[in-house]
Homo-oligomer: A and B are copies of this chain.
Amino acid sequence: MATMSDIAREAGVSLSTVSYALSGKRAISETTRERINAAITRLSYHPHAGARALASQRAGAIGLAVPLAEDVDAHVVMMFVRSLMRAAHQASHEILLIAGEDHATTARVLAEGKVDALVVMDVVEDDPRLPILAEAVRPVVLLGYPSEAHGILRVDFDFEQASALAVMELHRRGARRLVMIGSPSVTQTRHATYADRATRGFRTTCEQLGLQARHVVHDHEVDSTGQLVRAVLAQDRPDALVIHNESALPAIHRALTEEGISMPSDLQVVAIAPRETALLGTAEYTAVEIPVEQIGRAAVTTATDLIEGRSGVGDQLIAPSLIERDTTHPLRP
């Protein structure tokens, strides 16, 4: 393995010149730069990550505590992982995976400086990890929005406004009896912040608008979706549905079709889901889209801002917007 001194010798310059040539932190004459690059190619040199980390106090990686629990939809997790990888890559960082459930390791990895910052997914209300993470010497960013964050920065989609928006838009389109099909019960009981906040937005807004509201929990794996849908339709026949359960959406769609329901005439539906999930191929759902890419980018940006010690970073609640598609009535002026 060639080292930086090898390059220096080979190029006939000093060690620091090579270092600066690589970092670009000071001007290097065209000629020496070329000789250095030639030497680098000739010896196929690669800077040693460990040495750099020690000298610069930067690991060049961001930790990501991913939920490994089965109730969290793997597909959605992967979408977030992807978006974080992309964003981290742009910021010249790698993503180090940490099992979200293994909090001891999570804390250790951060404390040892194996990562420059930590992004925590799947935060729940009163998350036991927060008090400890609040003490960490390196930046932490929550991908979630607990009401009490212990001073840790939060980044998330505004799920509360998302379902509020869904309700308001359905109301404007004549809906009066709404049902929300929410996350699996495990997710609810854990009080994943996105589930809690989405439910709250639904309840509050229905109340404010004087709408009849019902919230049902759906365990895709366990319940027969057909039964659930029939039950939902049977009990004083709702005229609109808000669905916040990405893994169950296809099954719900099928069940509705089987019941002979046509949307939006019999029932208006708004999904709260990532774009890919809302587009079922067969049907295109009106949706409050979860902008996964944007959320991931925001989390990484916040993390790198904190790493670089930039000021003016704060919580970030990404505003929802509704994309009208086939499952709601058009709004006419």
Contacts and interface: CB of A to CB of B under 8 A. Distances in A.
Interface of A: 1, 46-54, 57, 59-61, 64, 68, 74-75, 77-79, 81-82, 85-86, 89, 94-99, 102, 105, 108-109, 111-114, 137, 221-222, 224, 254, 281-282
A61 B97 CA distance: 10
B46 A108 contact: yes
Given A94-B98, A95-B97, A96-B95, A74 B85 contact: no
Contact of A54 (B50, B85, B254): B50
B49 A112 contact: yes
12 contacts: A46-B112, A46-B113, A48-B112, A48-B113, A49-B112, A49-B114, A85-B99, A86-B99, A94-B98, A95-B96, A95-B97, A97-B97
A74 B68 contact: no
Copies of this chain in the oligomer:
2
Contact of A96 (B82, B94, B99): B94
A19 B60 CA distance: 25
Most chain B CB neighbours (cut-off 10 Å) among A57, A94, A105: A94
Contact of A46 (B74, B97, B105, B111): B111
Contacts of A95: 96-97
A55 B114 CA distance: 15
Nearest to A56: B50
A78 B85 contact: no
A167 B111 CA distance: 53
Q: 10 closest pairs, A vs B, by CB?
A: A50-B53, A74-B78, A49-B114, A46-B111, A50-B54, A49-B112, A74-B75, A95-B97, A51-B54, A54-B54
A222 B57 CA distance: 49
A78 B100 CA distance: 14
A285 B111 CA distance: 46
Contacts of A74: 74-75, 78-79
Nearest to A50: B53
Contact of A89 (B94, B102, B221): B102
Contact of A94 (B97, B137, B281): B97
A95 B61 CA distance: 11
Contact of A85 (B85, B97, B108): B97
